[in-house]
Structure 1
């Protein structure tokens, strides 16, 4: 986990960076500035100042917002060095000389490097041809004049302060379609998109003109440029301020929302980054993952904040599996299982209900009952040791759901539908059999059932 703290660095730049120049990771270490001083390349510190992130950031605003980073998954210990080499470009090594990262894909021989006023770090040969540039290796952010071609990808970070690879992607596919999707970490398996531009060759409005590249122009407008040079705006009616007075960036946030922001350039401004538009409009409803985690973790509920960013909450009777990850999975704070129900008190005395309106976990059903009344829906779930939640909607339809619950969301389109959450009244554990009596088979069966249940809750289960 890589967590950053603000830093006050002494920045330096003597024009172009030449082969052999280097920076060392340390508190208040130097950085390479763009000519205007608006962007810096160098090291940002880890929270205990023993590890660092090689990155590019806005240098003139107070929060020094990072727009590119090299080693999110491999933080560099203090004393690490980045050097400009002729054959490998930028090379990051730890104090023992072990390589942590390099710019790779070098075309020709590098003669110099420059941090541009556009926020692009460029390596050039002796003829000033580009050998490598950070704009062609984006992380989670695009800047004006930085375009994304077919096959290009933005990857989210894991949290606001953890720059390890996250589970959201923005991709311009080879068919010209711009999509947002989740991946099943630690693999790159892409789930179904929760946003798609529709700019493919099968698009009815432009059947022969798929998207060629995602353009973020110097004025701050973002659109997909089709092969016939027509523009497809990512958001209709985009309104942006003057690029001479404001900085712009477009970031795939750690929670999966792709947002364009602006920030005043004036040093005396008290404004921070302001959102202009976001995609999708409601990620909680748009995302539906069949085989993996959704926007929020298992057993969690996704709700939309005013800024169109998601907020994840555990339902009553549940708490975060990792208290430090509020977007992670939730676990029940009680014991639920068929063996526990059989050995406990019978019937309704075991459980109570918490009702949530316009809430659903749409991919966790295992039984559909219709026509059915709400009372019969509750009773059926109470009598079913596999049932964790029942959804009652449409006046006569009951869906029974089992753990783990996935793709939880609040959705006003459910028109008052209820999530009936079954919570055990008494959270006491089962009595342990007296070892003097021959109850080993019963105890073994109980332990196996409990382990199977816990494994299902924590790791996931089948979707019916």
Structure 2
């Protein structure tokens, strides 16, 4: 009886599962009106399969946060490697989101509340159906089988066999292995035919000098410039020249396209590589690199190519196994964000020029073949290695000394483009504090100093140092909102236009985490932090920009709050307003009103350039804001510096 009941239950379950299986196991053709929904059942999400089952299109779960990525991935290998994804901001969709195939808008991704999160680019024509090919290409066709849109023409970070990138096309890296927002690096086939790798300046959205180039431009041979980046069906990647010649990128061991999956990906660390994976495999099979570009990204990204792969004060080393960069903090330094292994390193001590007997407090770690490209402030000739080391220890400004060929270069923090390689032939002395202790807060200025209206630096130097750093951060954050603007206000911060009427408000970290939906929608970033879009509740929903600082003000909570109060006492119509802050543990965040029109850079460098009259108005407005900061507010503020008048 029990066995009969079990059999009936299994039969009943199979009847309920049948529609889902039919939906997933398509022949590659999807009719208009078809849809998928991001579900958490079974820790998986619904999808459409290509005819062979090699590829899947649908929702891939991201961790355990009830967030999903609309994407295409390899369906038959365990790691389900993603090769394409909807890369709008944010690049993730919450549980319950759906994608629909429509006649006039193509693929449309919506949230559970019906908000449009992403859609395929403008469709010229009427979509009759979708076709998911065994190449991994998802195509939208009209009733005459004309292609109206295809994922191959809108690549993200990966190119597959059968895919072509035309002149002007590009791949963009993701931010990290698990963060699919747009990252710092891109591969472009330029209009001149040169295939290049370069980093992106997030502040201006401009591109830095390439750190790799194929040199497929017009030369002595007519028509030698590249016109397409081709990944053929046999798994060979090359730049096709105008004259029919080829500049081949694929090299190394040859593999069978019948026996191996292959892809070429621009990794989040800026390395472009081709990988292969056996189609028939044991449990230990994985993606293996065939080749990668550039040869050594730690060395090939120089100062003109922008910041290196690793953050400030970090050291980049190339892994011999896969030619990928690894980052490491030197002794006396630790990661600003322990979860970001490629991020900046902060010193675990405070160095001050007010201390005496400097040489007894500090020591150096000696590294070989290590260097940082920037921040040099002194060059000393005819020195020995010992002289170089001792000179740095005794110099309160020195963070690192580089010694080579009887020359000593002294450099100050922060340092960028750090690298280690046997070709550098340099000895590096990294300064650190022996006891890793911090300095006590210095006494306040005396009443006599105030009476004489003197600016006392000896008593408040660490405070000014921390203050200067904070205002630098404010300036960087304001640049994302409308160029060189700050966020300041007087004792009572009032947002008249938005209906917000609150005092400068302290926020908890959890409040801001919830307001930004887990810091998912990034507005921009600078050297010291990232700006996220958020919504706070004050009777109604108010949009804000939340600046999450990477650095920790080492003088403590009191100084941080004092600085926030100082900038909170300024108010001008040309300055973005400060609404509040978070000072909780190691977390430092600033909350601003949101300027929804985007950055000044995006306006200045758009396809349609502003008129000269508009440019004059912009310059005049910025000048008025700076004039107020310099001369009119109660506490004059200079760029990257606050100087209280005493």
Question: Shared fold (TM-score greater than 0.5)?
Answer: yes
Report deviation, 1:455: 7.6
Query: Residue 163 of structure 2 aligns to a residue in which SS?
Result: coil
Normalized per residue, the structure richer in helix is 2
Instruction: State which drifts further: 101-110 or 66-75.
Output: 66-75
- 1:179 and 1:350 map into 2 onto residues whose CA distance is 47
Report deviation, 1:326: 0.3
Does the C-alpha gap of structure 1 residues 455 and 426 become closer, same or farther in structure 2, counting only changes over 3 Å?
farther
Aligned mate of 2:465, from 441, 444, 449? 449
User: How big is each residue's C-alpha offset from its partner over 1:227-254, in whole Å with a ceiling of 9 and x where there is no partner?
Assistant: 001011125x443211111111001111
**Counterpart in the other structure of 2:63:** 47
- 1:242 and 1:227 map into 2 onto residues whose CA distance is 29
Report deviation, 1:453: 6.1
In the alignment, is the contact (CA less than 8 A) between 2:74 and 2:81 conserved in 1? yes
Matches within 5 A, 1:135-174: 135-174=152-191
In the alignment, is the contact (CA less than 8 A) between 1:111 and 1:126 conserved in 2? yes
**Counterpart in the other structure of 1:319:** 334
Coordinate RMSD, CA, aligned? 2.2
**Counterpart in the other structure of 2:241:** 226
**Counterpart in the other structure of 2:292:** 278
Structure 2 gaps, min length 5:
1-19, 451-455, 474-526, 530-646
Count of paired positions = 443
Does the C-alpha gap of structure 1 residues 413 and 435 become closer, same or farther in structure 2, counting only changes over 3 Å?
closer
Structure 1 gaps, min length 5:
1-8
- 1:362 and 1:86 map into 2 onto residues whose CA distance is 54
Instruction: State which drifts further: 368-377 or 43-52.
Output: 368-377
Report deviation, 1:269: 6.4
**Counterpart in the other structure of 2:308:** 294
**Counterpart in the other structure of 2:82:** 66
**Counterpart in the other structure of 1:17:** 30
Structure with higher RCO (Cα < 8 A, 6+ apart):
1
Larger Rg: 2
Report deviation, 1:406: 0.5
Instruction: State which drifts further: 173-182 or 362-371.
Output: 362-371
In the alignment, is the contact (CA less than 8 A) between 1:183 and 1:189 conserved in 2? yes
Matches within 5 A, 1:48-447: 48-71=64-87, 73-74=89-90, 75-185=92-202, 187-201=204-218, 203-204=219-220, 206=221, 208-235=223-250, 237-266=251-280, 268=282, 270-290=284-304, 292-306=306-320, 307-336=322-351, 340-342=352-354, 344-394=355-405, 396-415=406-425, 417-433=426-442, 438=447, 441=456, 442-447=458-463
- 1:426 and 1:266 map into 2 onto residues whose CA distance is 56
- 2:445 and 2:211 map into 1 onto residues whose CA distance is 58
Query: Residue 341 of structure 1 aligns to a residue in which SS?
Result: coil
- 2:263 and 2:305 map into 1 onto residues whose CA distance is 32
In the alignment, is the contact (CA less than 8 A) between 1:53 and 1:76 conserved in 2? yes
- 1:115 and 1:208 map into 2 onto residues whose CA distance is 36
Report deviation, 1:63: 1.3
In the alignment, is the contact (CA less than 8 A) between 1:290 and 1:363 conserved in 2? no
Does the C-alpha gap of structure 1 residues 379 and 448 become closer, same or farther in structure 2, counting only changes over 3 Å?
same
- 2:97 and 2:237 map into 1 onto residues whose CA distance is 37
